[in-house]
Amino acid sequence: MKKVFQYCIYPVIMLSASFILIFGMKNGYNMYLVSLPVITLSGVLILFLERWMPYEKDWIKGKGDWNLDLTYYIINYCIKLTAQYLLILLAQSISFFNWFPKEQPFWLQVILALTIIDFFLFFVHLQSHKYKFLWNLHAIHHSSERLYFLNGDKRHALHQLIEGGPGIIVCMVIGTPPVVIITALALLAVNMFMQHTNLDYKAGILKKFFCVAELHRWHHRADFKDAQVNYGAWLTVWDYIFKTAYDKPKMLTKLGEIGIAEERNFPKNYWKQFLYPFSKKVQQQSKTTLLMLAFVLAGTLSFAQTTADDITGNWQLQDGSKRIHVFKENGKYHGKIYWVKEPAKQSEIGKKVLWNLVFDMDDKEWNGGEIQLPDMSHSASCYIKLKNANTASVTGYHGMKLFGKTKTLLRIN
């Protein structure tokens, strides 16, 4: 039964999304009321399926990347929505060629537009592995150390424009209706989920035609020379034409590390990654600008000069039930219970409840670690912020920081 499901999941999700999108767009429904729910619901469904039947169990927990990848997705999708709006305005004000076969069925028009866009996505992607500046932009996408549905859109904003722009412009010039282009882009968004997902599905014969996760995972291998395969976004035909397709029995073996082996200290926040492709001079100018702004704001922030070791010392939960000693070990911050109020809970003394926190100078917080208080059934990701010198908030969360639970710590001298 599991094997049947594995082979059915890709065609079911893609055909369902295609049917809803094509039906809604063809019949004149608002494009945002059609595309946004389809993309969102597809993403949520794939998220739950990943957790139920993962390809790689170690990728479920994440590597402190969810918030960063979600930031990328929101920013890049807003760019796409803006581009779609501009596309409609241009189509209304500029007369393009009338070469696109508008008399054909709507679904066929969508396939044709998507094929054109897909070719240029492939071609720019291929060049991005050959030329240094393009690679520096594209490296952000490869910096992820795990694969799951959300990081398919982890792209530098400039690279997204360079990659997606040519195909859309060609479609516009030949007279493709905007609604056709928008439908094609929505379908591509769903396929990008399925291409990068951690869901252990099988595509069977379909992987000869479509760029599925089974193929694309090999493009994300950590060793740069091993990643020069399977560039396609939707169709595999371009990889076969340019002889970059990789689909061999060896693929049944373990995938290996994901990421960029040659760049182990890749920046971890959005702004640093945004500046990563540019010269040291541009980076320094940007840092100088930020420092000037920080200097202006410094007077209003009593804890603006927060340093890494400010978190060390003895702290008490706000309800007074427990006291925790926070200490530094091997460059990371940990916390152990050293006192409890209730005699019946003396066994908790000495238990480590915080571990592996690192100081983030940009965000003025300690993050990347985990928390598990005695009343918690399992550990959670966490971060700590100082409200002032003697008050800190520690937040535990699964997935999104927004939905975390926060406890207040009070310093004890």
- Is residue 116, in this structure, part of any structural domain at all? yes
Tell me what pLDDT residue 300 has.
Answer: 43
Judgement on whether residues 199 and 347 belong to the same structural domain of the protein: no
Domain count, the chain: 2
Judgement on whether residues 113 and 218 belong to the same structural domain of the protein: yes
Task: Give the tokens for residue 410.
Answer: 């009070």
Tell me what pLDDT residue 73 has.
Answer: 94
- Rounded to whole angstroms, how far apart are CA atoms 31 and 24? 8
- Is residue 56, in this structure, part of any structural domain at all? yes
Residue 172: domain span: 2-266
| Cβ partners under 8 Å of residue 332, min gap 6 | 355, 356, 357, 358, 369
Per residue in 276-329, pLDDT tens? 998 766 566 655 655 555 554 444 444 445 789 999 999 999 889 999 999 999
Judgement on whether residues 155 and 247 belong to the same structural domain of the protein: yes
Judgement on whether residues 244 and 313 belong to the same structural domain of the protein: no
Judgement on whether residues 319 and 236 belong to the same structural domain of the protein: no
Judgement on whether residues 313 and 240 belong to the same structural domain of the protein: no
Judgement on whether residues 30 and 168 belong to the same structural domain of the protein: yes
Cα angle 17-18-23, degrees, rounded to a multiple of 5? 105
Catalogue the long-range contacts made by 209-217 (C-beta closer than 8 Å, 24 or more residues apart): 209/235, 209/236, 209/237, 210/10, 210/14, 210/234, 210/235, 210/236, 211/235, 211/236, 211/239, 212/10, 213/55, 213/147, 214/251, 215/245, 215/246, 215/247, 217/55, 217/147, 217/255, 217/258
Q: Is the dihedral of CA 21, 26, 27, 32 positive or negative?
A: positive
Judgement on whether residues 81 and 174 belong to the same structural domain of the protein: yes
Residue 354 maps to which CATH number?
Answer: 2.40.128.520
Residue 20: φ, ψ to 5°: -65, -45
- Is residue 296, in this structure, part of any structural domain at all? no
Give the E-state strand segments of 65-197 in sequence order. none
- Is residue 302, in this structure, part of any structural domain at all? no
Judgement on whether residues 241 and 335 belong to the same structural domain of the protein: no
Task: Using 50 as the pLDDT threshold, list the residues of the chain that sit under it.
Answer: 296-304
Judgement on whether residues 318 and 203 belong to the same structural domain of the protein: no
- Is residue 84, in this structure, part of any structural domain at all? yes
Judgement on whether residues 218 and 340 belong to the same structural domain of the protein: no
Q: Domain end: 266, 289, 320, which one?
A: 266
Q: Domain end: 236, 266, 296, which one?
A: 266
Judgement on whether residues 241 and 367 belong to the same structural domain of the protein: no
